[in-house]
């Protein structure tokens, strides 16, 4: 049974990510951990008004957080109508990213799913600051980022963008094998031609990737670099109407561009495609 960690700030965006995850693994009964960090509220306790009452107020915040998580769980089970998933609630005053990595280790988490931005994000962006920090710090397990208030549809077309600059492992690519099998989906390996041809290292890594995926339904797609690498990839995602875009953890420059460059941010915002970040093998 998979263990899937889903952080929530009780926003519509967070709930949509939870619902998406529950539907994605509908045919694979999983243990869901609904997790909330109330560290932001705790930081307010530094006010002189709360001196001497910190522990009492933290306990109150904990109870309130647990109650809201339970309400989210009940809403999910009601919306799903029937489910074989099981649920656990974890609430903490720790910083979000620190707590996530602790839970990944202590609960043997297999997958993290979260919304692309929280309830305080108003800018037309694809990835908010908390999701960006999570992408930077979660190395051990796959991370699936769901665009805000995205309606669930079965993924039939999955893209895996790679520069072939590092080697791959079977464990790292497990999600690219499991998710397509659940939905009989097609996976396309996307490469942007930054140079005229692949160097020896890239060729070796491509061979390794093809060897690992030789029994899977994978295609190759070479793209000319008409714009920046990130913009080229996101335009391809839009044109091909991909349902999930996968990248490796070490492709941080691509992720940073999604967060920073206005043109790419706008494209990513409009296409609203879930982003699957595969774990590091370092």
| Predicted pLDDT of residue 252 | 61
Coil, helix or strand for 4? strand
| Predicted pLDDT of residue 259 | 60
| Predicted pLDDT of residue 128 | 75
| Predicted pLDDT of residue 45 | 66
Given the candidates 3.40.50.620, 3.90.440.10, 1.10.3720.10, 3.40.630.30, the CATH classification of the domain at 2-146 is 3.40.50.620
| Predicted pLDDT of residue 167 | 87
**213-227 pLDDT, tens digit each:** 876 778 888 888 777
Q: Does domain 157-278 have CATH number 3.40.50.620?
A: yes
HSE toward the beta carbon, residue 108, CA cutoff 13 A: 4
Residues whose CB is less than 8 angstroms from the CB of residue 91 and which lie 6 or more positions away in sequence, other chains included: 35, 36, 37, 38, 62, 65, 66, 69
| Predicted pLDDT of residue 41 | 77
In whole numbers, what is the pLDDT of the chain averaged over residues? 85
Spatial separation of the C-alpha atoms in residues 77 and 241, rounded to whole Å: 30
As given in the structure block, the two tokens for residue 101 are 């990595």
What are the boundaries of each domain within the chain? 2-146, 157-278
- CATH topology of 2-146 equal to that of 157-278? yes
- Low-confidence residues of the chain, pLDDT below 70? 44-53, 118-126, 215, 251-255, 257-271, 281-282
* Prediction pTM value: 0.90
User: Is the backbone of residue 205 left (phi > 0), alpha (psi -120 to 50) or beta?
Assistant: alpha
């Amino acid at each position: 049974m998979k263990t899937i960690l889903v952080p929530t700030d009780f926003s519509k965006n967070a709930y949509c990510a939870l619902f998406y995850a529950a539907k994605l693994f509908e045919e694979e009964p999983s243990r869901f951990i609904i997790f909330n960090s109330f560290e932001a509220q705790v930081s307010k306790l530094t006010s002189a008004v709360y001196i001497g009452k910190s522990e009492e107020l933290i306990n109150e915040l904990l109870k309130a957080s647990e109650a809201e998580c339970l309400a989210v769980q009940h809403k999910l089970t009601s919306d799903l109508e029937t489910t074989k998933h099981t649920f656990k609630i974890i609430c903490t005053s720790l910083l979000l990213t620190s707590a996530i990595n602790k839970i990944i280790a202590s609960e043997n988490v297999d997958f993290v799913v979260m919304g692309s931005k929280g309830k305080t994000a108003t800018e037309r962006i694809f990835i908010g600051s908390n999701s960006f920090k999570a992408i930077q710090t979660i190395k051990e397990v796959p991370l699936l980022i769901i665009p805000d208030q995205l309606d669930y549809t079965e993924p039939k077309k999955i893209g895996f963008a790679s520069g072939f600059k590092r080697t791959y492992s079977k464990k790292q690519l497990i999600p690219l094998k499991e998710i397509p099998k659940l939905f009989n989906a097609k996976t396309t390996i996307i490469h942007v031609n930054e140079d005229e041809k692949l160097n020896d290292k890239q060729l070796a890594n491509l061979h390794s990737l093809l060897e690992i995926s030789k029994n899977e339904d994978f295609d190759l797609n070479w793209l000319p670099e008409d714009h920046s690498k990130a913009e080229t990839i996101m335009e391809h995602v839009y044109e091909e109407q991909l349902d999930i875009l996968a990248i490796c953890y070490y492709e941080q420059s691509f992720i940073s561009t999604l967060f920073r460059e206005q043109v790419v941010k706008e494209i990513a915002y409009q296409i609203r495609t879930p982003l699957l970040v595969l774990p590091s093998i370092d």
